[in-house]
A and B are shown apart, each in its own frame.
Chain A
C-alpha cells in the first residue's frame, strides 16, 4: 500500500525528477512542506477511497492525517478494519 500511495503522490503532485530531488519517502511531510495543499488534497482523498473501497469522513481527512504517506497508510488501514467489522 505504501508504494502505491507514494507512486500516486509522485505522479499527482510532483514534477519529473522532483521526487528524487527531495528524496520522497513515507515520512516526507506533504502538507507542512507545501507539496500538497488543502485545495489539491481532495483528489488524494478520492483516490484512497476508490482504490481501497473506503469512505473517509471529512472530519478525519485532516492535514495531520494526510501529512505523510505513513500517516495516510495508518488512516486507510483504520478504515479498512472498520469496514470489515
Chain B
C-alpha cells in the first residue's frame, strides 16, 4: 500500500478546483421509490421535502409500477439474485434469451444482445464490428457513451453538425472510399429533447451505401404511435441497422441495455464486445421486470398516450407563460436561461416551491446555453403539472424573464 501524501494533496487540489468552478456534483438523497412525487433530503441532513420530480428518465412511470415490482420479485424467487458469471461461461438463463427475443420483436430488428447497460452497449459495439478500413460519422451532440465507444474503435472518426443533413451528405461523399460507413446518432437528444431526422438519414444512407446506428435510449417505449421509438415515429421502423437502447429509463428504469439490429452485427457483439464478454449477466429480477414492461407496452398504448398529452400540456403552458423553450415533440423540455448562475438560482427557487429540477451549464451543455431541463412522465397528471406550472411562473416573474426572448435574457443577465 502506498498512498503518498503528495498524491493525496494533488487529488484534493483537483477536487477543490472542481468546487471553485461551481461544477461539483452533489447527490441528493431520495427517501421514497422513484415516482412523479418523491421525498427528498436536501441539503444533506435537512428534513424530508415532498417535491414534484421533473428530472427523472421515468418517462412511462414504470420504475415503481406494482406489476413491474411484482415481476422482479418473481424473478428473484424463481431464478435468484445474480448469476455470478458472465453470459458465455455460466451466466445465461433461458429468460435472458427470451428477453432478447422480446426486444427484437418490440424494436423490429433481426436480433438483440443484452448488455449490463446502454453505456456498455455503446462502449462495445463499434469496436466489435468496425475496423481501420471503416468510418464512423457521428452527429456532434451524441451521448458521451457513444463518444467513448467510438474512441475505443480503430475506424476513422468523423462528425457532422447537429442534425445537419447537408453536412452529413458532404461527409458521406468524402468517405466513399471506405469499406463501411456508419452514421451514428441519438434518436432523441438528451439535452435538447429534439429528434434526429431519421427518415432523411435513412434515405442518405441508402443513397451513399451507409449503415445507420441509433441510440434510442430517450425514445424506446414512447416515441412513435406504439412506442417503438424514433424509427417508428419517422416511418423507418425495421430499417435501422443498429439500435442501442436502455432498460434504465422508460423500460423499467433499473439498468441493462442492448444492441439490437442486423443478425451478423449482434452475433459479432456476442463474440467480441468487451463489456458483454467481461461483465456479469443482467440479474434475473431485471430480466423478469423488463419482460413485464414489454408485455404492458404491447397490450396498450395508454401510458405513452398519457405521456404525450402531459408533454403537450407542459410545452404549451411554458410557452404561453413566456418561457423560452427548445421546440420539439419529446418529453424532454429544456427551459433556456443561457446564463449559468441564473439556471442555478432558478433551480434552487423552484426547489423551495416543491419542484425538483436541475440547472445544466457548460461543459454539460455548450457555453452560453445554460438551461433547466424538465422531463415529463406518464406518472405525472395534469393537476400536478398545472401546479408546477404556476410555480414556474412565480419564479420566472421574480427574475423578470417571462416574455423575454434569448436576446432579452442575455441583456438582463449576461452570458
Contacts and interface: CB of A to CB of B under 8 A. Distances in A.
A40 B138 CA distance: 9
Contacts of A13: 161
A39 B362 contact: no
B161 A42 contact: no
Contact of B367 (A15, A34, A40): A34
Contacts of B368: 34
Q: Chain B interface mostly helix, strand, loop or mixed?
A: loop
Contact of A42 (B157, B362, B363, B366): B157
Contacts of A40: 140, 159
Interface string A8-48: 00001101000000000000000001100101101100000
Given A13-B161, A39-B159, A42-B157, A34 B366 contact: yes
A13 B368 CA distance: 16
A40 B158 CA distance: 7
B254 interface: no
Interface in A65-81: none
A43 B159 contact: yes
B147 interface: yes
Contacts of A15: 161, 164
Contacts of A33: 367
A58 to B, nearest CB: 12
A13 B161 CA distance: 7
Interface in B129-143: 138, 140
Interface string B332-371: 0000000000000000000000000000001100111000
A34 B362 contact: yes
Given A13-B161, A15-B161, A39 B140 contact: yes
Interface of A: 12-13, 15, 33-34, 37, 39-40, 42-43
Interface of B: 138, 140, 147, 157-159, 161, 164, 362-363, 366-368
22 contacts: A12-B161, A13-B161, A15-B161, A15-B164, A33-B367, A34-B362, A34-B363, A34-B366, A34-B367, A34-B368, A37-B140, A39-B138, A39-B140, A39-B147, A39-B159, A40-B140, A40-B159, A42-B157, A42-B158, A42-B159, A43-B158, A43-B159
Given A40-B140, A42-B159, 10 more contacts: A13-B161, A15-B161, A34-B362, A34-B366, A34-B367, A37-B140, A39-B140, A39-B159, A42-B158, A43-B159
